[in-house]
Chain A
Amino acid sequence: GEEVAQTPKHLVRGEGQKAKLYCAPIKGHSYVFWYQQVLKNEFKFLISFQNENVFDETGMPKERFSAKCLPNSPCSLEIQATKLEDSAVYFCASSQSTATEAFFGQGTRLTVV
């Protein structure tokens, strides 16, 4: 596709439930990035992929967060046992290379209640 597609747009989960977010990068883009934005503040880097390989996961809370980018499937970000502080907008971005611009999806707003 010509744009980064994130689904769902909104997700509400009870504390302790699982949340799964999806991102379809732009066709031909090798890099995928996930960011967390809390209350319109700074973007916290979570994880990046180069094709289906994890490139950098230094931003990922190791205990409950996981992500995958499998061939011929949307990338996914999964949060096990959600907590209230996981409430945020999660943005996905893709780029052809690190020297070119990144295109962002519209984000998934996760609300944990």
Chain B
Amino acid sequence: SQQGEEDPQALSIQEGENATMNCSYKTSINNLQWYRQNSGRGLVHLILIRSNEREKHSGRLRVTLDTSKKSSSLLITASRAADTASYFCATDANNNDMRFGAGTRLTVKP
């Protein structure tokens, strides 16, 4: 069964606005990763956050992790049209496999 669940399923914003996507999971994890997928192509890795970390930044991306709530959020600040893509969270539980959610489809309008 899938581990992560992203919400919302779809998000549409104007260029320059911030986009926040959430991911919830069910079991204890070692780490959580966020990926981006453009138009059905391969996944591009964005950020890995470990279970003992609470926040991580990379450029315009900010990821938080709350292990007590079993949830993570991805914030994209000052969004651009090129950020239009599907975003997936993947969790790595103790069996070492990555499990993905259904993703959030982000549309950034110019």
Contact = CB atoms under 8 A, between A and B. Distances in A.
Interface string B88-102: 101010011111111
Interface residues of B, number: 27
Interface in A30-78: 31, 33, 35, 37, 40-45, 48, 50, 55-56
B33 A102 contact: yes
Interface string A70-113: 00000000000000000001010100001111111111000000
A107 B99 CA distance: 17
B42 A42 contact: no
A102 B2 contact: no
A42 B103 contact: yes
A18 B44 CA distance: 30
B102 A102 contact: no
Contact of A43 (B44, B50, B92, B100): B100
**In terms of DSSP, what is the predominant structure of the interface of chain B?**
strand
Task: Assign chain A's interface to a size class.
Answer: 20 to 34
Interface string A1-19: 0001000000000000000
B30 interface: yes
A105 B99 contact: no
Interface in B23-62: 30-31, 33, 35, 37, 40-45, 48, 50
B56 to A, nearest CB: 13
Contact of B48 (A40, A56, A93, A101): A101
A107 B90 CA distance: 18
A106 B41 contact: yes
A107 B41 CA distance: 7
Given A42-B101, A55-B97, A104-B42, 14 more contacts: A4-B42, A37-B40, A40-B40, A40-B86, A42-B2, A42-B88, A48-B96, A48-B97, A56-B95, A101-B33, A104-B35, A104-B43, A107-B40, A107-B41
Interface of A: 4, 31, 33, 35, 37, 40-45, 48, 50, 55-56, 89, 91, 93, 98-107
